[in-house]
Chain A
Amino acid sequence: MIKYIPRFSRTERTLHWANALGFLFVLATGLVLYLPSLSVLVARRPLIKDMHFWGGIGWVSLLVLVALLGDRRGLLRTAREIERFDHDRLNVGQKINAILMAAFTILFLVSGLLLWYGERDTRFHFASTVVLHDGLMFAALALFVGHLYLAVLHPATRHSLRGMTLGSVREDWARVHYPQWVSDTEKVPDTRSAR
């Protein structure tokens, strides 16, 4: 009989999918604004620009809302876990991905607000704002593609997606990929799946 062990809490999963939803929405609307071929195809720039701006605000607000309404103590525990660059519940690559995406999200927000305000007040004009915003898009897109490949396609790692959808993973799989975490869990039962 296959044994499953809890991996990500409900708050962690909600935060992850809220982040994915927000990121994909601003990526899609941003690409329409950025790529000339899509700009011509859609042609409704003012509408797409509003959707992109308010989508970005909505993205960050959603993350804050999930963090406030969810298991805050659990999220703080996860944050402390991510700070340590060792291979426990998460591997170092996953931790770097999470840290970079968190920093990128803040930088997206700051540069996006500067672009928006700069269009209304030239005191907020900086020649490099658009370079930063676009550069973040390329860097975030590269991280996203790598993340998607490992989570959905790569045979050895794609089982991890179950942890982020249903909250649990096969114990035998976890023993191979996260032996330290399984060993720690056996010593102290994990209660993450409860919230």
Chain B
Amino acid sequence: MADQPEPRRYGRGLFLVTLAGGLSSLAWGKAAWSHVTGVVSPIAGAIAPILPTQGWRIYTVSDHMPTFDPATWQLKVGGLVETPTTLTYAHLRALPRVEQISTFHCVTGWTVPNVHWAGVRLQHIFDLVRPLPEAGALQFVSAEIPYVDYLSMPEAMLHDVMLAYEMDGKPLPREHGAPLRLIIPEMYGYKNVKWLAGINLVPHPEDGYWEQLGYDRDAWVGRSNGYSS
């Protein structure tokens, strides 16, 4: 009887190809995913209730996610200003409203395009408190203790920096920083402080929560934290 042919050993090949594909995807994965996203977005929309909505991940640094009560919430604006002011939620909503559509980039690599924000520009806050000439930066204080971060005055005055109280046509959800968060699309998400409770005008920027752990203070998208695009 003739010998049976030895079965081909494909297993090792499949293992190595899978491993090589996975490791090399560290170089091409994000670009490929951007192409795929456009194709699968209709499917993703259908299963949105069980999947991360439009690609958001919720990052917190403490064991308590702040809650929002419109009756008691306050935004304290002070420091190097002529008129320290405490805004209630009603007062905040009465300020001139602006809207914008911008892309949100997280330093860990995920991106959410075309987010529709509504809120107020910092200039409207400045009109109320009147910064002193020596104010060179803003400290944004989160209700999620101990999260703080800073922007220099020129950064804060970029055309699309805003304090957002609405996201995609609805009041800002709790996990996105209700009722108010900072939005600076040019910088990675960790500068976009959530659950804003206070803004202090200070002489110069300092290291915020993540900067103290080694992240760049100027978190320009694609030009900081080891990225160069």
Contact = CB atoms under 8 A, between A and B. Distances in A.
Say if A and B assemble together: yes
Interface of A: 33-37, 39-40, 43-47, 82-86, 95-96, 99-100, 102-104, 106-107, 110-111, 114-115, 118-123, 125-132, 135-136
Contacts of B213: 119-120
A46 B109 contact: no
A36 B57 contact: yes
List of 3 A-B pairs having minimum Cβ-Cβ separation, nearest first: A128-B29, A83-B11, A103-B18
Contacts of A121: 214
B95 to A, nearest CB: 28
B215 A84 contact: no
Interface stretch (B62-70, B117-125, B152-160, B196-204): B62-70
Contacts of A120: 213-214
B14 A99 contact: yes
Nearest to B57: A34
Given A103-B18, A103-B22, A106-B19, A83 B12 contact: yes
Contact of A125 (B22, B31, B64, B226): B226
Interface in B1-42: 6-12, 14-15, 18-19, 22-23, 25-33
Given A82-B11, A85-B10, A128-B29, A122 B61 contact: no
B18 A100 contact: yes
B63 A132 contact: no
Given A84-B6, A85-B10, A103-B18, 4 more contacts: A39-B57, A100-B18, A102-B15, A104-B18
25 contacts: A36-B56, A39-B175, A40-B174, A43-B64, A43-B65, A45-B60, A45-B61, A46-B61, A83-B11, A85-B9, A99-B15, A103-B15, A107-B22, A114-B26, A118-B108, A119-B108, A120-B213, A121-B214, A123-B226, A125-B107, A126-B109, A128-B28, A128-B33, A130-B108, A135-B33
Interface string B47-90: 00111110011111111110000000000000000000000000
Given A43-B64, A44-B63, A128 B53 contact: no
A82 B7 CA distance: 11
Contacts of A107: 18-19, 22-23
